[in-house]
Amino acid sequence: MRLGSGSGLQWLGAAALLLAALWLSSGLLLLAAGLVALVAGVVALWRRFGLSRLTYERHFQQNRCFPGEPVTLTVTVTNRKVLPLTYLVVEESVPVALEVESRRLHFQSRARGRLRMRFSLGWYQRVERRFTVRAARRGAYRLGPAVVAAGDPFGWAEQRMEVAPSDLLIVYPRVVPLEEVGLPAQRPFGDLASRDRLFADPLRFAGVREYRPGDPLNQVHWKATAATGELQVRLLDPSASLGLAVFLNTWSYERFWEGDDADALEAGVTLAASIVGWAHEHALPVGLYANGLVYGWGFSLRLPPARGDGVLVQALEGLARLQTGSPQPLWELMAAEVPALPYGTSLVVITRQVGVDLAGAVLRAQRSGRPVTLVVTGPEAEPVPELPGVRVYRVGGEEGLHGAVLAE
């Protein structure tokens, strides 16, 4: 609670006027003393009960969106008492990445601004306001904390309370066609479909057919053979585990303490989201790994390859929450995760730079029977070492997310 400069003097003033009125037998002074006492009582009443039974709430109509999509923000103030509030000001802390249409944010810091709102509420009144919010870029955002200030009608006393931050607004990264991010639209990571057919999963039985010369004997279905009197072999679906595993490097340089290249990171996030989206569209199992901090989830993003809408949503949410600052290098994450991936899984490694350790991890993965595509988002001045058998693309740089094939 913060009091105005004269908040403690009203009663003294009333007492002084009363004494003067009695001493001088002045009815006018007596009336003045009564008025001052009345004002002091009103101020004390507001100071004591101004914020009691008052609630301030805000919520987003939807808590998941893409950059640029309009989201409705509803702000509700409710006064659940007889005492009206003629002066109520709310200062809401808003991330600068969120644009509130038709409202100007007051500068608070580089990352946050203040949305100032004024209200006047009668007894037992509820006031609701709606704003349209758009996010400029992907991220996980909260409003708040908010400061609610209520004052008396004379401006002599003010009471304040702080309201905890709101729920998260998750802004997914952009998902765009691969040709828009500098990758070829046709077979950007090799012939995944033909490799799927080479690796059949013995646990995924699809039916039987007649035996053909060259079929392995261990695939003969003996019960079906006995029932039909002719050799029958099992039909197996391609392994549900094969597909793509996307590895995103959040380090801009070989050592994480050397700094960040925010543009390269955002380019990498957009690439990763778009590749995951492409794999989902083509019904391929896809996984996502990143060596960044994941807001609310902890260290590193680790989603094993899988099919379905669930993995796409998880990947987009993980990328929305992804931050820099992890001390774990990508090559170390690859050393831990690549051996667990099924033989034949394709790897896509997205990085701004290719240091010695990362190049070694890429070559080890390639030689282990897991084809690697390397996508480099750094400037062209930074060289890419020779990586035999690795398909290499360079995207980004001065021309944005557009690139060329360096090696196949």
Distance, in Å, from the CA atom of 300 to the CA atom of 399, rounded to the nearest integer, reads 30
Minimum mean pLDDT among 32-36, 204-208, 215-219, 322-326: which range? 32-36
Q: Residues 230-257: what's their mean pLDDT? A: 76
Mean pLDDT is lowest, of 27-31, 122-126, 240-244, for: 27-31
pTM: 0.77
Question: Cα 12 from chain centroid?
Answer: 56
∠ CA 4-153-123, rounded to 5°: 125
For residue 289, the number of C-alpha atoms closer than 13 Å in the C-beta half-sphere is: 22
Percentage, residues of the chain above pLDDT 70: 75
**In the chain, what are the domain boundaries?**
2-49, 54-171, 178-193+241-407, 207-238
pLDDT at site 180:
86
Q: What is the pLDDT of residues 252-287, one digit of tens each?
A: 887 766 777 888 899 999 999 999 999 999 889 999
Tell me the residue length of the chain.
408
As a whole number, mean pLDDT of residues 364-370 equals: 94
Give CA angle at 92 (148, 68), nearest 5°.
155
State residue 351's pLDDT score: 95
Which CATH architecture fits 178-193+241-407? Answer: 3-Layer(aba) Sandwich (3.40)
N-to-C CA span, the chain: 68
In whole angstroms, give the CA distance from residue 112 to residue 252: 25
Report whether pLDDT(2) > 50.
no
- pLDDT band at residue 202 using 50, 70 and 90 as cut-offs: low
Mean pLDDT of 152-178: 86
pLDDT (average), residues 386-408:
67
Contacts of 394 (CB under 8 A, 6+ apart): 182, 375, 376, 377, 380, 384, 403, 404, 406
In this prediction, residues 56-61 reach a mean pLDDT of 96
Q: Hey, how many other C-beta atoms are within 10 angstroms of the C-beta on 123? A: 11
Q: Which CATH superfamily is domain 54-171 in?
A: Immunoglobulins (2.60.40.10)
Mean pLDDT of the chain: 82
- pLDDT greater at residue 4 or residue 44: 44
Q: Specify the pLDDT at position 326.
A: 85
Evaluate whether 275 touches 178 at the Cβ level (below 8 Å): yes
Asked whether residue 192 carries a pLDDT value surpassing 70, the answer given is no
